[in-house]
Amino acid sequence: MQAAYYEESGGPDKLKVGERPDPEPGAGDVLIRNRAAGVGIWDVKLMASASANRSFPVIPGFEAAGIVEQSGDSGLEMGDAVFAQLGERRGGYAEISVASPDHVARKPNTVSFEEAAGLVFGAGTAYEGLVDRGRVQAGETVLITAAAGGVGVSAAQIATSLGARVVAIASSAHHALLRELGASETFDYHDATWLDQVLAAVPGGVDVLFDGAGGETRDRAVGAIKDDGRGIFLVGKPRELPRGIAALQFSADPDTRRLAAIQRLVDGGKLRAVVDSTFSLEDAASAMARVATHHSGGRVALTIG
């Protein structure tokens, strides 16, 4: 099969494209003929990490969408269109990949394979954080940082679908998009007064912070959470949280149940896939370089086959 792979840790320039052996599914596994793969900042970070790559070559990619060639114990049928989280074995940047039966679901009917691949961790992380862990309720206010990123665009829509008011932090170039996706207010993190603007718009503070930015933006955003509110942190949590604020930090696990919930949201018109750009498998290094800029609006995907 054709695949993008690397033989040493480093940046996107280390990625090669060529023939690799077909993967062999284990008992019960699902074999997928890929049509697309999601490209995430997590792929870039893992590729750069010597400790995360214990053996070479490595085919990156945690997110795939394609056609089932072997259904295993999934309850799916050969020929079904699916999207999947591939787990630690990775391998999405290839013509064929293997998924565990409990991490694959039917693809939403209303989106392309590229859009579906981008939803796996983009929407999967947002769903787990807001629904399963944050328990966001109708009438609450949710502040989302990095709101135009691959996770943020889904978080804005999922929070809105729950009946929450969404306040989004992103560069001004993405404000129109975020309002289309349900944000009631948008503020530019380049503006030194953005925190004051949030507190003016939401006196008393927000119920929930969903933070995908980390660093200084995260630490400032904590100041917008009301007493005894909740902070959901994707890029590390602050060392200390004041005023009884509860901290929730997790590593996302988009399993079959969560993927099926995302499929229903998408086909029900409550969640839109937002793709920044697509690249061919042969140009996978450029796709990773695009993600590495941190300026994509939505997800980046590979078209395969």
Distance (Å, rounded) from C-alpha 146 to C-alpha 268?
A: 25
Q: Tell me if the pTM is above 0.75.
A: yes
Asked whether residue 75 falls in the same domain as residue 8, the answer is: yes
Q: What is the CATH number of the domain that holds 159?
A: 3.40.50.720
Greatest Cα pair distance in the chain: 58
Asked whether residue 140 falls in the same domain as residue 187, the answer is: yes
Residue 283 lies inside a defined structural domain of this protein = yes
Boundary (domain end) residue, out of 212, 233, 249: 249
pLDDT of residue 286: 98
Structural tokens at position 189:
């993190």
pLDDT of residue 116: 98
pLDDT of residue 73: 96
Residue 290 lies inside a defined structural domain of this protein = yes
Question: Which structural domain, as residue segments, surrounds residue 287?
Answer: 2-108+273-303
pLDDT of residue 301: 98
Residue 116 lies inside a defined structural domain of this protein = no
Q: What is the CATH number of the domain that holds 74?
A: 3.90.180.10
Asked whether residue 132 falls in the same domain as residue 238, the answer is: yes
Asked whether residue 100 falls in the same domain as residue 194, the answer is: no
pLDDT of residue 55: 85
Q: How far apart are the first and last CA of the chain?
A: 10
Structural tokens at position 134:
């944050």
283 three-class SS: helix
The whole-number mean pLDDT for each consecutive block of 10 residues of the chain, a chain of 305 residues, reads 96 97 96 98 91 86 98 97 96 98 98 98 98 98 96 97 98 96 97 98 98 96 98 93 95 97 98 96 98 86 96
Q: How many structural domains does the chain have?
A: 2
pLDDT of residue 190: 95
Asked whether residue 154 falls in the same domain as residue 53, the answer is: no
